[in-house]
Amino acid sequence: MPKEASTVLCAEPACATKEKIMEYLKLADINVIAERPWDIEVHNNTFYKKVLTEGSLGLGEAYMDGWWDCMHLDQFIYQLFLSQVEKKVKRSLSAYWTYFKARMFNLQGKKRSKQVIDIHYQLGNDLYEAMLDPLMVYSCGYWDKATTLAEAQTDKFDLICRKLGLQPGMKVLDIGCGWGGFVKYAAEKYGVTAVGITLSENQAAHARKICVHLPVEILIKDYRDLNESFDRIISIGMFEHVGNKNYRTFMQVAHRALKPGGLFLLHTIGRNTSISGTDPWIHKYIFPNGQLPSIARIGGAIEKLFVMEDWHNFGSDYDKTLMAWFENFDRAWPTLKNKYGDRFYRMWKYYLLSCAGGFRAREMQLWQL
């Protein structure tokens, strides 16, 4: 092609947009010709404009709509995070709006706290039963010695029980008890009585069913309404929904509910820096109003309330957990397809595998405090 013709062609907005996205992808060693597991194949050229103008939201939505594919999504996202290419890309308006709202407003107040329950946790127990382990644990497993997902989750529970020094007769509170796996395990293996609280009716119904013959009470209750006292308190994978504007309140509630000399264990995803809000795609489709805490923000929230005894990071284990969840979900999809539909499959696949890539790149952490 003559040089002049090439110059004219590349002056077109669509061509310039494509070249810009390809330039960003090259920084992460990603090609748009699928030669390697982390390369992508673009099926709709509108993909380039959508990603350039909408950032991570556009990238995720374009995948949901089938505009691009990748052999191994987790490796693709890993490459993006590892290269830190996002620092070189101008934030989209959707990202600015998401972070602005989180900074200016309390998006996790009582009136809004059920949004994530309705959108995410009320999807259907059939989905989570297919994806999770037999105890239906929806948080990072502990893979120190485990070889299966079920082992990783029970090992995690036992690690928590041993850290807290649980003894028969102790009264334990689980803030955000999910489907009741921990309170069931602690009551059966360590002889404690337990109270679990959740805002999800689906979770509460399942938890009550599996704990029916145990000294366990499951309540649909906001943590801010707690008025009992306990020997031990745990919260596993719920703090990500609390929000920076409520961290201090959360810690004050835990402090008030804990008997003198008691122990509180917090199990939470964390991030390396302090920011407001979350990824716009995750906010819109997976965890509305979610926010990952930083070390600094947790430290500020517990000041003059608690003594920090131990800070344990096993974030790399979340990569293994998410990959195991995806394998289960993918295997069970033929039985779920008619209810949830193909676009949901691509959304859920993108969610699980992109998070796995993020943990693999150590962009996110998993802490037990």
- Rg (C-alpha) for the chain, rounded Å, is 22
Q: Please report, as a single letter, which amino acid is at residue 43.
A: H
CA 19/CA 218 separation, integer angstroms? 55
Residue 117 DSSP one-character state:
I
Per-residue confidence (pLDDT) for residue 117, from 0 to 100: 66
Pairing mode, strands 40-42 and 68-70? antiparallel
CA 368/CA 352 separation, integer angstroms? 22
Length of the chain in terms of residues written: 369
Instruction: Report pLDDT digits (tens) over 35-83.
Output: 999 999 999 999 999 999 999 999 999 999 999 999 999 999 999 999 9
Of the pLDDT bands very low, low, confident and very high (cuts 50, 70, 90), residue 2 is: very low
Nearest Cα to Cα of residue 286 among 157, 91, 121: 121
CA 194/CA 192 separation, integer angstroms? 6
pLDDT at 136 over 50: yes
Residue 180 in tokens: 């009741």
Residue 273 DSSP one-character state:
S
Q: Is 161 a catalytic residue?
A: no
What does the pLDDT average to over 194-207? Answer: 95
Q: What is the mean pLDDT of the chain?
A: 90
CA distances to 141, 186, 311 from 227, rounded to whole Å, are 31, 22, 28
Helix locations, 30-124, DSSP H: 46-64, 73-83, 93-104, 115-116
**364/84: higher pLDDT:** 364
Per-residue confidence (pLDDT) for residue 112, from 0 to 100: 53
Q: Please report, as a single letter, which amino acid is at residue 66.
A: G
pLDDT at 93 over 70: no
Per-residue confidence (pLDDT) for residue 175, from 0 to 100: 98
Catalytic one among 70, 140, 177, 355?
Answer: 355
**11/362: higher pLDDT:** 362
**165/118: higher pLDDT:** 165
Nearest Cα to Cα of residue 232 among 257, 250, 249: 257
Beta strands in the chain (DSSP E): 40-42, 68-70, 171-175, 193-198, 216-220, 230-236, 258-271, 312-313, 364-368
Contact 153, 141 (CB under 8 A): yes
Instruction: Report pLDDT digits (tens) over 359-368.
Output: 999 999 999 9
Contact 77, 28 (CB under 8 A): no
CA 329/CA 264 separation, integer angstroms? 33
Q: Please give the share of the chain, as a percent, with pLDDT higher than 70.
A: 87
Of the pLDDT bands very low, low, confident and very high (cuts 50, 70, 90), residue 122 is: confident
**11/211: higher pLDDT:** 211
Per-residue confidence (pLDDT) for residue 110, from 0 to 100: 60
pTM: 0.90
Q: Sign of the C-alpha dihedral, residues 147, 153, 158, 159?
A: positive
CA 304/CA 299 separation, integer angstroms? 10
What's the N-to-C CA distance of the chain in angstroms? Answer: 62
Buried-exposed string 165-204: b where 16+ CB fall within 10 A, e elsewhere = ebeeebbbbbbbbbbbbbbbbbbeebebbbbbbbbbebbb
pLDDT at 288 over 90: no
pLDDT at 13 over 80: no
CA 278/CA 256 separation, integer angstroms? 29
